[in-house]
Amino acid sequence: MIYVGSHISSAKGFAAMGRQALALGANTFAFFTRNPRGGAAKALDPADVEAFLDIAREHGFGKLVAHAPYTMNACSSKPEVRAFSWRTFGEDLERMEHIPGNYYNFHPGSHVGQGTEVGIRFITQMLNTHLKPEQRTTVLLETMAGKGSEVGGRFEELKAILDGVEVKEHMGVCLDTCHVWDGGYDIVEHLEEVLEEFDRIIGLSWLKALHVNDSKNPLGAKKDRHACIGEGELGEAAFGRIVRHPVLKSLPMILETPNDEEGYRREIALLRKLYAQKRI
């Protein structure tokens, strides 16, 4: 059995997300902690959270992979953007404690010309400001495509961030298949070698979740344009090898493909079918 799901709108609350996940055939999902373009988060309704937790328990959901808003940039050159990002991060972590034991994934940030080292320092500072030893949420750094001045396009950069974090036990990494491909890691022809490299540089014990996306662009393009599974440069067979891989198959797998509901339902079923093929 694998844990697979897609992004689901959080507009109608937690219980509605749980029911939507079931309708899609999902047993995990991702949601934006607030409008992906930023803005204030809605107040939490304890009854809604309870109803969701009942659904998740009853249907054996895996860990959820919440996603921070895109407007967050922990290492912006603008102090007001950094302040907004750090504050948002802290608030989101507090909210996540209402659904304890899940993941909160964020894009490390873009250094916008300040250099990778400065970027890494700001990101680490944000994490050290808000991570608490007693928290029950694990924060995930997402592997990035390396578009523009993005930090996190190389495994070494994620490792440098992790090295600077004090509360390491609540940290992990989310591997986005489109992003690593665009970043130049060939998970189609050399999945084994890429995972070995991840293990050597970061350590596979840090790998906690997958974003499962095909890519519209060739290896190393650094573009970050997601494609539907099997319709991009990675191809369906590569996803079969990914979902069946012994070190990947137990991780929550989140689709972020350009789909409507019906498309997500189909792709969730496709990933389950690929998993069941049990081939190498």
**Which positions lie near Fe ion, rule CB under 5 A?**
142, 176, 211, 256
Sorted by sequence, the CB contacts under 8 Å of residue 179 that are 6+ apart come out as 142, 143, 144, 145, 153, 211, 213, 224
Decide which of Zn ion, Fe ion, none touches 211; Cβ closer than 5 to 8 Å per partner kind: Fe ion
Beta carbon of residue 256, minimum distance to Zn ion (angstroms, whole number): 6
Pair 2, 37: CB distance under 8 Å: no
- Per-residue contact flags (x/-) with Zn ion for residues 31 to 70, judged by CB under 5 A: ----------------------------------------
Interactions with Zn ion, residue window 116-135 (CB under 5 A): none
Pair 272, 253: CB distance under 8 Å: no
- The tokens of 247 are what? 């070190």
- In terms of CB distance, is 82 or 226 closer to Fe ion? 226
Pair 198, 207: CB distance under 8 Å: yes
Q: Binding of Zn ion at residue 182 (CB under 5 A)?
A: no
Beta carbon of residue 178, minimum distance to Fe ion (angstroms, whole number): 7
Cα dihedral 217, 201, 29, 90 sign: negative
Question: Binding segment for Zn ion among 39-47, 129-137, 202-210, 220-228 (CB under 5 A)?
Answer: 220-228
Q: Which residue is nearest to Fe ion (CB)?
A: 211
CB atoms within 10 A of CB 280: 7
Options 92, 150, 224, 267; binder of Zn ion; rule CB under 5 A: 224
Bridge pairing between strands 138-142 and 226-227: unpaired
Q: Which of 20, 10, 27 is nearest to 69 (CA)?
A: 10
- In terms of CB distance, is 157 or 224 closer to Zn ion? 224
Give Cα 30 to chain centroid, integer Å: 8
Decide which of Fe ion, Zn ion, none touches 182; Cβ closer than 5 to 8 Å per partner kind: none
Beta carbon of residue 137, minimum distance to Zn ion (angstroms, whole number): 22
Beta carbon of residue 254, minimum distance to Fe ion (angstroms, whole number): 8
Pair 217, 226: CB distance under 8 Å: no
Decide which of Fe ion, Zn ion, none touches 157; Cβ closer than 5 to 8 Å per partner kind: none
Residue with tokens 């792709």: 267
How big is the site for Zn ion, counted in residues (CB under 5 A)?
1
Beta carbon of residue 79, minimum distance to Fe ion (angstroms, whole number): 24
Strands in the chain per DSSP E: 4-6, 65-67, 103-106, 109-110, 138-142, 150-151, 171-176, 207-212, 214-215, 226-227, 253-255
Q: Which residue is nearest to Zn ion (CB)?
A: 224
Decide which of Fe ion, Zn ion, none touches 267; Cβ closer than 5 to 8 Å per partner kind: none
Sorted by sequence, the CB contacts under 8 Å of residue 253 that are 6+ apart come out as 2, 3, 4, 5, 28, 209, 210, 212, 243, 271
Beta carbon of residue 256, minimum distance to Fe ion (angstroms, whole number): 5
Decide which of Fe ion, Zn ion, none touches 224; Cβ closer than 5 to 8 Å per partner kind: Zn ion
Pair 202, 159: CB distance under 8 Å: yes
Beta carbon of residue 46, minimum distance to Fe ion (angstroms, whole number): 29
Which residues of the shown chain bind Zn ion in the complex (CB under 5 A)? 224
